[in-house]
């Protein structure tokens, strides 16, 4: 990646305090060489948790796996201070990972407001995972806040179960001066529509002295609000779960000041590989593990030179890979064929900047043409409808992408 220190973000951002950032053109140096459609695909990195959920006979165990998956889906955001490229209207991204047992397709279905729709299915017909995301970005003087509006739906087909939730808010601090760092906060509620079980997860804001940084705490309850399971950990590290009675007795001991039975300490990322971890906010004390807890999920170690590569995970690094012969089968709208992102990945920043401007102008020109002819933009792989489980407006997959008839695809590059 390139150093950003020579650029004054302030010069650009002071014009937009309190405004929505999707309408502002940022210099390419603040980007990372991926499209937002590829960033969404990173939800799939820990898809083994969904396969595991599908194999569990009990609803409580399934919810534990789904909760771990929902937290793991935002884990790749840690330290990711580069902004993904805004997708062009009609842009698509597909990913087939036979080794991980899924295929995935997304499309930019709206430009103002920017809406990205995605759909994924298990290659063994065990799950469907879909949703549409409208990231609302706000600039607050020192930080940029991204609130990902839109419902995420996971269907476990063998159990005839659907789970829905929305992601937490993500905030990038010190955008003007100082070291950039990221936190996520807000409450995520995952509902099992068949049983009425609900998992409530609180992503804690940093708080004074960074005590709460990256913490996630919550519980699973049944439809009568009886607590069945306690979940705790950090979205940057790992997630543990424990029976409520054991949790309460541990907390009681703590309050009485008794030395608790020796808790096995969670293995920290630092122990695993000193090369990989970059000290961000000071408090990287790892999760204190309560005796009797089960590990639900642990983050994958990042590649050793991740800090020089936009803090990408190993999964992320592969997303823009264009293997030999791939362009013959990809849709012509696929992000991997997008010239500005490709130029940036190749290290040619000037060409990337020119291409980004050219593509944005081409998009504006196409919009003017449609206005002149009074025609509406037609999405290709998704249509507007209602989420079958929540009844709220959503973008639904129309099917047919993997039959690979790309004859009517728009020319956006």
CA distance 373 to 367: 10
Quick check: 99 pLDDT over 90?
yes
The residue extents of the domains of the chain are 25-257+285-403
pLDDT greater than 80 at residue 155 = yes
**Residue 271, pLDDT above cutoff 60:** no
Residues 13-24: tens digit of each pLDDT: 666 666 665 656
338 half-sphere exposure, CB direction, 13 A CA radius: 33
The pLDDT of residue 266: 41
The 10s digit of each residue's pLDDT in 31-85 is: 999 999 999 999 999 999 999 999 999 999 999 999 999 999 999 888 888 889 9
pLDDT at 209: 67
Instruction: Band the pLDDT of 382: cuts 50, 70, 90.
Output: very high
Q: Mean per-residue pLDDT for 254-260? A: 75
Whether residue 183 is predicted with pLDDT greater than 80 in this model: the reply is yes
pLDDT in tens, 333-352: 999 999 999 999 999 989 99
pLDDT digits (tens, 9 = 90+) for 162-176: 999 999 888 888 877
Mean pLDDT of the region 311-323: 96
- Measure Cα distances from 58 to 238, 240, 244 in Å: 23, 18, 18
DSSP string, 111-170: TTTTEEEEEEEETTS-EEEEEEEEEEEEE-SS-EEEEEES-EEEEEGGGTEEEEE-PPEE
Percent of the chain with pLDDT strictly greater than 90: 69
Q: Which residue has the higher pLDDT, 139 or 217?
A: 217
Phi first, then psi: give them for residue 165, nearest 5 degrees.
Answer: -160, 170
Q: Does domain 25-257+285-403 have CATH number 2.40.160.120?
A: yes
Q: How confident is the model at residue 8 (pLDDT cuts 50, 70, 90)?
A: low
Among residues 40, 229, 224, the alpha carbon closest in space to that of 148 is found at 40
**Element housing 220 (H / E):** strand 215-221
**Which DSSP state fits 43?**
G
Mean pLDDT (whole number) for 321-326: 94
Q: Would the pLDDT of 142 be above 60?
A: yes
Q: How far apart are alpha carbons 161 and 179 in whole angstroms?
A: 43
Average pLDDT, the chain: 88
């Amino acid at each position: 990646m390139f150093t950003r220190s020579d650029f004054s973000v302030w010069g650009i951002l002071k014009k937009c305090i309190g405004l929505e950032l999707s309408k502002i053109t940022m210099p390419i140096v603040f980007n990372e060489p991926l499209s937002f459609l590829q960033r969404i695909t990173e939800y799939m990195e820990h898809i083994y948790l969904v396969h595991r959920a599908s194999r569990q006979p009990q609803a409580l165990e399934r919810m534990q796996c789904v909760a771990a998956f929902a937290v793991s889906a935002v884990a790749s955001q840690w330290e990711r201070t580069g902004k993904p490229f805004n997708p062009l209207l009609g842009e698509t991204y597909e990913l087939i990972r036979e080794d991980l047992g899924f295929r995935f397709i997304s499309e930019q279905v709206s430009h103002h407001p920017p809406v990205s729709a995605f759909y994924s299915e298990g290659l063994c017909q065990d799950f469907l995972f879909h949703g549409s995301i409208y990231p609302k970005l706000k600039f607050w003087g020192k930080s940029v806040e991204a609130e990902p509006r839109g419902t995420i739906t996971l269907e476990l087909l063998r159990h005839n179960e659907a789970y829905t939730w929305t992601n937490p808010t993500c905030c990038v601090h010190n955008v003007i001066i100082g070291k950039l760092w990221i936190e996520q906060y807000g409450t995520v509620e995952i509902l099992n529509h068949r049983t009425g079980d609900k998992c409530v997860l609180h992503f804690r804001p940093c708080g004074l002295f960074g005590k709460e940084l990256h913490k996630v705490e919550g519980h699973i309850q049944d439809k009568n609000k009886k607590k069945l399971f306690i979940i705790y950990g950090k979205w940057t590290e790992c997630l543990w779960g424990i029976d409520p009675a054991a949790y309460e007795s541990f907390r009681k001991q703590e309050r009485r000041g008794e030395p608790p039975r020796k808790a096995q300490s969670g293995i920290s990322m630092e122990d695993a590989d000193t090369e990989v971890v970059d000290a961000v906010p000071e408090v990287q004390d790892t999760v204190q593990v309560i005796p009797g807890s089960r590990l639900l999920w642990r983050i994958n170690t990042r590649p050793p030179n991740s800090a020089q590569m936009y803090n990408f995970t190993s999964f992320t690094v592969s997303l823009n890979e264009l293997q030999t012969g791939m362009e013959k089968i990809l849709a012509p709208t696929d992000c991997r064929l997008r010239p500005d992102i490709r130029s940036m990945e190749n290290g040619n920043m000037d060409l990337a900047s020119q291409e980004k401007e050219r593509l944005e102008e081409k998009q504006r020109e196409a919009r003017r043409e449609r206005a002149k002819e009074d025609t509406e933009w037609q999405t290709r792989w998704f249509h507007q409808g209602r989420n079958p489980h929540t009844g709220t407006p959503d973008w639904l997959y129309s099917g047919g992408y993997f039959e690979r008839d790309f004859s009517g695809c728009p020319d956006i590059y």
